[in-house]
Structure 1
């Protein structure tokens, strides 16, 4: 016994060492064997040694204990290992089931079921205690802790609760403080005591049990004998009950006699009921026969009445009113007769729809009368569609021919006339409902009508555009000299300021767009609605648009007179409409091209304002579905860009034609003329034509700078003079424009940098003309200082004191004359005299900087030698020049 206690104490110390760093206190700990198997099956093939420990931790808020079950495993196999580690943790609040495995005859194997396991389809592990006492001690401890701290106990399966209560009562001392367990410091030992009264059986139940057991002399430890005695007493009670039943035999016989009498009465009543049932059955059959005959007669009457009514309705459908038949086959299409024709079309469309399911029962489809009437309606439809199509094709052609033959519809000499199609549309709208009915009757009939309308109206539109464009050009007055503006501006014949005003040219182009673009959009919208295209409106109303002269609503109408506005765009219909519009308006673009070409010949720079006008119209018509109008504006935009690009090609060609064999001096002729050209171009920029002008600036200025650099390379001696004079002229002429135009500002900065570089090179060449040897000596000294000390310099070859004195004497004797020679040289080489003061000032600054640096360098390396004149004296000498 002492050895077991010692072993349990060792186990307690091992477990307590695991929890020494936590707040948990170990309550009990047992050695077990873990095996994995299905519920109710025992498998020892995978058994592993483990330690089950129950730990408690008091909650600071509720002052209750949080009970946890810990599974500990040994760091090496076997029970003899000295170290255990935590393997798994279970919370007691999730314990829902305790089942003793029945396959284990010893009863030491049990399974703990937890309701929070993630994998419920995998059987939980089985735990095997070393003996039944340890099992009972562990389970009673678990039940007690669950009831005290959770207020409930888990479900017990495979184990007698009374037996456990008796065991706990018999081992109350060891259950209260079991040996080998650790009692929590914060838990009162009286609270941990397990009693039957508190855990399993109430006080009243215990009193009843004691009273029952007190009637027997047999001891409680003889459970099997006690059970046998209870069975014998139960059999004795059952035998007594049977005896009592047998003693009541006379009463049973009386009851049986009365039951026989009642049975005979029931049989007699059943016989009478059978007789009555047969009679009632025969009577019911007679009544059903009579009702069936009456129902058949009533049904026949109802069917005959319904058949007559249905035949009357069918005859009404099959009847063709003679007035409609006359109108559909031979009626006239005059404007006064159109209401009657529309009514006939309405009736015909309704009659055809009424012959088709679901308006007509499919059972009638094979009737001969229905087939004949359907064929008659189809014949009426084809006859009417053919007659109406022939009339409308002839009507469109005659209407347009009449307008073309009347010259008052078009522009004439000295009079620009705006096209007016109000009367044309009014006359066409008379037959709009007829076209809608034709589409409903035969959708394919609209194809030839649309083609005829496009061919006829195309002649009228082209004639109007041609006459208007010709008269527009003839009535626009421009100076003849403006036609050679480019040659004057580039080749040297004049300046932009001497040219005449050519704004009437761009105004004429804007007027052409202002008159015809809305007209073409309106014609496209009217054509789409008039010819019943299932598309959204092509030209939604926009604020500021000029009216085309008619106030009619051009939206399509349905058969009831309501606006027919499709909810979404039909791609196939849209494609067909654009193809028809191409045929309707094709050829009219040539007159727009003629106006663009004429404006270019008058003044190429007018392409800028025309481009801005075109872009504004194109931007305002982006939402229109009339694709031809957008394509026309895009083609005009491309044509204007090409014409302006051709103008730039000619200007760049004129710039590149400067004579390369003759020495170029002073400011080249194209530099100031570009300023005049840029000023005029800026005056013509209108809104969105900014990109075209910026590209023109990039191309022209790039060509100018390239040609300037090329000409300068032809004469390297005077290259810097040519560059600085031309870059200075470019800056002076473009100063104001560069502040307003970012593109010109970029080229202004480029010219400024090139000017500074040319000035630096030119000033250095002027200085080196008189003092090159002096400053070269200083450069040699400065190079030596990278490798030797200043004290060693006077002893080097070529930079000795004697060499210094010779160079100083040769360069600075007669320095006044040298400075005068520098000024005269600069004055002689510069063509632009206004640049002389700035360049001379730069020359003085650069020379003084170099002279002061040389003086400091010589003072450092030749302390006994001094420059004469000094830098201060040299500044005074420059003032005399």
Structure 2
């Protein structure tokens, strides 16, 4: 037998050197070949799965009183030195599988239960021969059984064959074990490295000896079966005879037992008779007890029911009893402020009592009792009486409060003194009865309608008086000078600066009117909605914003907080359309008529300065944007009406101004700069100064209407005198651009009209300059135009042979037009200067355009001559350009 690599001491020392520093000792090391392929039928490895040389080593590491056993895989480095590759713990070894496809039986696989990737096939290890395979596997199995206490699953190899091989090779291996170092694991291997036999694994030695003895006896019994059967029959007969004899000997004892059984039977029958008697008596007694218990239960139930009935009747009587102090308040008590607490308590008691007499608070059986019906009728009469008395008192109270304030002139604005309306005392006195109104609504919700009308009628007189006095004094105390409103009238002097006086006090007066009364009206609307128990959301939050600033409160903060809660402690579940409609109708009754004083201020401001409508419009829009959609419906309608009235007044001003512009076309022989052109620039500048808030659209619409009428009127005036139409247009369009240049840079609407005027100016300039040029050189450029027209129909070579276009004709035209050309150009300049006497600042730019247009026309003429009459000569373009530049 060849020497195994397991006996190679050099290999073991190389393995020990490879794992130096791990505190592990090598128990065995052996060379193997590693592969991942499968064995083909030929018994050779596949081409892609070539074997790689490896060394398998079993190592151990001391760990307390025990030890850990490892299976190490070492590979050869580039220099042929062993180095660690993989490490497995033997306690995770679950399977030893010998590959059956290998005819030699030297290839096996080791399966571990802790490998992460179970889908990858485990490595296959191929030994040099079967002896090396058996030697390694026996070592691994002995360690697993003796040290770990279990064996892995062995597949593909016969365990008996392994045991027989171990017996045959024990001396050789035992010799090797003498060399292995001592230790807990080493000793176990040394003792049983190859002594694991099949018998040791299956049965012990003692069990084997007993089985051999049993088998020997069994073989002996097969030979003497008949003799053995006869012997058994004889023994059975002897045993039966002995039993019969024993029974016969015990006959006296049996008789005594039978007598005892008879006496016991007699006693049992007597006892059964007595038990039947006792059972009958007990049944009768049980029936008596049940009857007694039934009667007791009925009596107890009747007692409980009577007690509950008495309690219910006491409660019902308590509900039906009217306390004397409440009856006195409800029937004839006073409604003075000192007595309001008692009245409120009486209302609460009455409301709760009426509620308790209705289902589901009261049982339906009680509701049909005559006493309950009578008491309910009495309470209804008491309620109606109280509601009538309270409603009459409140109507008179509201009227008296307002009459007292109206009779006192100190509450209103007077000559020389504007008085801010102050309703703090009025609301304070009303709050005294806020809780009473809540209870009146609970007792009879129909009673609130007349009360609301009475409150609105009384307070409406006060509010209208305050607004009228304030508006009258506001207009009387505003110092301003009246200016003529003829902004664009052509009959006014050209130097007149219309409406140049400062009229800012007018728009300030209007803003002051809104600042004082709009928050007041909103607060009054909100207070009325809460005070008169409308089930709508809060109209204005405490400290709400109007026009971007805090509401101007004339009384305490949180003015709308009445200091009361709902009677049922239930929150309003949202806006109710019916209540909201009723609120809007009541607010109309409360505030109707006050708008006339606002309209009077607007009309007064318009008469002083119509342009102040712009700033008033912006102020109104800011107040509208500061109101919620559902807040104080009448106030929002008032602001919308004010906005419409201001827009109407401003539209009236725009229409009048446009009418003044249109009057210019009726004048005969309009020349030069029209007066409304510079005045419009003054007007636009002033309008831009007044723009506030979102009033941009109002002004832009006015600009559009103004300029549209101005341009239309200008065109009509020009059409009335075509000879001077272009001069009139270019002068006025130029003046329009010059006067609005700065505003057009910042106002998009004016910028659009600025560009429109610029285009019209250029067109008028072109027509005017062509007329000047043609006046002096008409024959020359008409000759050029005739040539251009013929070039569309005939060839250039045929043109000199046409009538009037011969070379001789060309020479005559050139001689008559260009002889003394400097004088002709001078005459052209004088004519241009003569026509622009009213706008001399336009002369330089127009003269430059005139020279450029003349030079372009002459250049075209010269090109035609070179093309049609190549042999003819005319003054060159350069010479004409120099001549124009010198003039």
Shorter-chain TM band: 0.5 to 0.7
Structure 1 SS opposite 2:550? coil
Structure 2 SS opposite 1:477? coil
- Note the C-alpha offset of 1:698: 0.1
Rounded Cα–Cα distance in structure 2 between residues aligned with 1:676 and 1:741: 15
- Note the C-alpha offset of 1:268: 12
Q: Note if 1:762 corresponds to 2:763.
A: no
Q: Hey, what does 2:28 align to over in structure 1?
A: none
Q: Note if 1:864 corresponds to 2:865.
A: no
Rounded Cα–Cα distance in structure 2 between residues aligned with 1:828 and 1:269: 166
Q: Note if 1:844 corresponds to 2:851.
A: yes
* Cα shift readout 1:639-685 (whole Å, capped 9, x = no counterpart): 00000111111101111111535211111010001111111011111
Alignment of 1:115-134 (within 5 A): none
Q: Hey, what does 1:415 align to over in structure 2?
A: 417
What is the aligned-residue RMSD (CA, Å)? Answer: 2.7
* Cα shift readout 1:542-576 (whole Å, capped 9, x = no counterpart): 24223322115423555578997524111111111
- Note the C-alpha offset of 1:498: 6.3
| Alignment counterpart, residue 860 of structure 2, candidates 853, 870, 875 | 853
Rounded Cα–Cα distance in structure 2 between residues aligned with 1:323 and 1:797: 132
Rounded Cα–Cα distance in structure 1 between residues aligned with 2:409 and 2:459: 16
Q: Hey, what does 1:825 align to over in structure 2?
A: 831
| Alignment counterpart, residue 716 of structure 1, candidates 710, 715, 722 | 722
Structure 1: runs of 5+ lacking an equivalent: 1-260
| Alignment counterpart, residue 655 of structure 2, candidates 645, 649, 653 | 649
> Any conservation in 2 of the 1:485–1:496 contact (CA below 8 Å)?
no
- Note the C-alpha offset of 1:608: 0.5
Q: Hey, what does 2:513 align to over in structure 1?
A: 512
Rounded Cα–Cα distance in structure 1 between residues aligned with 2:463 and 2:674: 52
Alignment of 1:331-730 (within 5 A): 331-480=333-482, 482=483, 484-486=484-486, 491-493=491-493, 495-496=496-497, 499-540=500-541, 541-543=543-545, 544-551=549-556, 553=558, 554-555=560-561, 558-559=564-565, 566-660=572-666, 662-730=668-736
Structure 2 SS opposite 1:692? helix
- Note the C-alpha offset of 1:688: 0.6
* Cα shift readout 1:223-267 (whole Å, capped 9, x = no counterpart): xxxxxxxxxxxxxxxxxxxxxxxxxxxxxxxxxxxxxx9xxx999
| Alignment counterpart, residue 883 of structure 2, candidates 874, 877, 880 | 877
- Note the C-alpha offset of 1:795: 2.6
Rounded Cα–Cα distance in structure 2 between residues aligned with 1:844 and 1:446: 90
> Any conservation in 1 of the 2:488–2:660 contact (CA below 8 Å)?
no
Q: Structure 1 residues 562, 736: closer, same or farther in 2, change over 3 A?
A: farther
Structure 2 SS opposite 1:316? helix
* Cα shift readout 1:347-381 (whole Å, capped 9, x = no counterpart): 11111111112222111011111111111111111
> Any conservation in 2 of the 1:518–1:548 contact (CA below 8 Å)?
yes
Task: Decide which moves more: 289-298 or 407-416.
Answer: 289-298
Q: Note if 1:771 corresponds to 2:739.
A: no
Q: Structure 1 residues 471, 562: closer, same or farther in 2, change over 3 A?
A: farther
> Any conservation in 2 of the 1:533–1:577 contact (CA below 8 Å)?
yes
* Cα shift readout 1:21-59 (whole Å, capped 9, x = no counterpart): xxxxxxxxxxxxxxxxxxxxxxxxxxxxxxxxxxxxxxx
Structure 2 SS opposite 1:492? coil
> Any conservation in 1 of the 2:662–2:713 contact (CA below 8 Å)?
yes
- Note the C-alpha offset of 1:615: 0.5
**Aligned residues between the structures:** 621
Q: Hey, what does 1:149 align to over in structure 2?
A: none
Q: Structure 1 residues 312, 561: closer, same or farther in 2, change over 3 A?
A: closer
Q: Structure 1 residues 862, 548: closer, same or farther in 2, change over 3 A?
A: same
Q: Structure 1 residues 537, 856: closer, same or farther in 2, change over 3 A?
A: same
Q: Structure 1 residues 440, 661: closer, same or farther in 2, change over 3 A?
A: closer
> Any conservation in 1 of the 2:439–2:567 contact (CA below 8 Å)?
no
* Cα shift readout 1:368-414 (whole Å, capped 9, x = no counterpart): 11111111111111111000000000000000000000000000000
Structure 2 SS opposite 1:317? helix
- Note the C-alpha offset of 1:774: 1.4
> Any conservation in 2 of the 1:489–1:677 contact (CA below 8 Å)?
no
Rounded Cα–Cα distance in structure 2 between residues aligned with 1:594 and 1:806: 81
Rounded Cα–Cα distance in structure 1 between residues aligned with 2:375 and 2:386: 16
> Any conservation in 2 of the 1:727–1:755 contact (CA below 8 Å)?
yes
Rounded Cα–Cα distance in structure 2 between residues aligned with 1:357 and 1:660: 88
Q: Structure 1 residues 631, 498: closer, same or farther in 2, change over 3 A?
A: closer
Rounded Cα–Cα distance in structure 2 between residues aligned with 1:312 and 1:631: 59
Q: Hey, what does 1:835 align to over in structure 2?
A: 842
Task: Decide which moves more: 697-706 or 787-796.
Answer: 787-796
- Note the C-alpha offset of 1:631: 0.4
- Note the C-alpha offset of 1:807: 1.7
Structure 2: runs of 5+ lacking an equivalent: 1-261
Structure 2 SS opposite 1:759? helix
Q: Structure 1 residues 491, 472: closer, same or farther in 2, change over 3 A?
A: farther
Rounded Cα–Cα distance in structure 1 between residues aligned with 2:270 and 2:806: 167
| Alignment counterpart, residue 732 of structure 1, candidates 738, 741, 747 | 738
* Cα shift readout 1:100-137 (whole Å, capped 9, x = no counterpart): xxxxxxxxxxxxxxxxxxxxxxxxxxxxxxxxxxxxxx
Q: Structure 1 residues 590, 673: closer, same or farther in 2, change over 3 A?
A: same
Q: Structure 1 residues 604, 415: closer, same or farther in 2, change over 3 A?
A: same
Structure 1 SS opposite 2:740? helix
> Any conservation in 2 of the 1:731–1:752 contact (CA below 8 Å)?
yes
Q: Note if 1:744 corresponds to 2:746.
A: no
* Cα shift readout 1:459-514 (whole Å, capped 9, x = no counterpart): 0000000000000000011113x2x1325866415634663111111110000000
Q: Structure 1 residues 652, 522: closer, same or farther in 2, change over 3 A?
A: same
* Cα shift readout 1:61-112 (whole Å, capped 9, x = no counterpart): xxxxxxxxxxxxxxxxxxxxxxxxxxxxxxxxxxxxxxxxxxxxxxxxxxxx
Q: Hey, what does 1:243 align to over in structure 2?
A: none
Rounded Cα–Cα distance in structure 2 between residues aligned with 1:454 and 1:654: 48
Rounded Cα–Cα distance in structure 1 between residues aligned with 2:402 and 2:675: 59
> Any conservation in 2 of the 1:439–1:532 contact (CA below 8 Å)?
yes
> Any conservation in 1 of the 2:485–2:499 contact (CA below 8 Å)?
no
- Note the C-alpha offset of 1:612: 0.5
> Any conservation in 1 of the 2:536–2:576 contact (CA below 8 Å)?
yes
Structure 2 SS opposite 1:485? coil
Rounded Cα–Cα distance in structure 2 between residues aligned with 1:705 and 1:563: 71
Structure 2 SS opposite 1:864? coil
Rounded Cα–Cα distance in structure 2 between residues aligned with 1:673 and 1:444: 65
- Note the C-alpha offset of 1:269: 12
* Cα shift readout 1:134-193 (whole Å, capped 9, x = no counterpart): xxxxxxxxxxxxxxxxxxxxxxxxxxxxxxxxxxxxxxxxxxxxxxxxxxxxxxxxxxxx
> Any conservation in 2 of the 1:556–1:564 contact (CA below 8 Å)?
no
- Note the C-alpha offset of 1:281: 4.6
> Any conservation in 2 of the 1:420–1:548 contact (CA below 8 Å)?
no
Rounded Cα–Cα distance in structure 1 between residues aligned with 2:469 and 2:447: 34
Q: Structure 1 residues 837, 395: closer, same or farther in 2, change over 3 A?
A: same
Structure 1 SS opposite 2:459? helix
- Note the C-alpha offset of 1:629: 0.4
Q: Report which of the two structures shows the higher radius of gyration computed on alpha carbons.
A: 2
Q: Hey, what does 1:326 align to over in structure 2?
A: 328
Rounded Cα–Cα distance in structure 1 between residues aligned with 2:269 and 2:841: 152
> Any conservation in 1 of the 2:544–2:551 contact (CA below 8 Å)?
no
Alignment of 1:253-264 (within 5 A): none
Structure 1 SS opposite 2:419? coil
* Cα shift readout 1:771-797 (whole Å, capped 9, x = no counterpart): 122122222222333344333332333
